[in-house]
């Protein structure tokens, strides 16, 4: 899902702006459990994530458990 969101924003703007848009989308619309899961996935290498999605997740702050 993060890759689909990244692809959408990549088409709308450059990668730097797209990463911030993806970060904002995930922060606003994904539930905390999903955000913690994708942050953990990136912390473990982020296999399968597009560069924009990876950059966006690296900017996220993990929600409290």
pLDDT at 62 over 90: no
Sequence-separated (6 or more) residues with CB below 8 Å from residue 61: none
The predicted-structure confidence for 1-60, as pLDDT tens digits, reads as follows 999 999 999 998 777 799 999 999 999 999 999 999 999 999 999 999 999 999 999 999
C-beta atoms surrounding 10 within 10 Å: 20
Residue 14 pLDDT: 73
Q: Is 31 helix (H, G, I), strand (E, B) or coil?
A: coil
pLDDT tens figures, 14-28: 777 999 999 999 999
For residues 60-65, average pLDDT: 83
């Amino acid at each position: 899902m993060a890759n689909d969101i990244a692809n959408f924003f990549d088409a709308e703007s450059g990668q730097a702006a797209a990463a911030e848009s993806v970060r904002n989308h995930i922060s606003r619309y994904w539930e905390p459990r999903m955000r913690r899961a994708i942050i953990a996935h990136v912390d473990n290498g982020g296999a399968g994530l597009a560069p924009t999605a990876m950059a966006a997740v690296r900017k996220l702050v993990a929600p409290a458990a």
